[in-house]
Amino acid sequence: MVENVVIVERCRFCMGTGNVTVELSGGEKEVSRCINCEGVGSLTCTTCQGTGIQPRYLDRREFKDED
């Protein structure tokens, strides 16, 4: 029996920590919340919406040149 599973990707900006560290001049460090993942540390895959199923064709319509 398969339950609902949501596929998430680790945020590539904060490497999954939810925080971004910036080194300032003078050796100081500033830690702030990651704006890419909003501090969560992961993102839901936008292609499959977390289902793990990749759509083969987004649009199967055929377009004909009408010159």
- pLDDT for 58 beyond 60: no
Rounded to a whole number of angstroms, the CA Rg of the chain reads 20
Q: What is the CATH number of the domain that holds 14?
A: 2.10.230.10
By residue range, what is the domain housing residue 27?
Answer: 8-44
How far out from the chain centre does Cα 55 lie? 17
Distance CA 55, CA 45 (A): 12
- Is residue 33 assigned to a domain? yes
Q: pLDDT digits over 11-39, tens only?
A: 999 999 999 999 999 999 999 999 999 99
The count of structural domains within the chain is 1
pLDDT-based confidence at residue 50 (cuts at 50, 70, 90): confident
Average pLDDT, the chain: 82
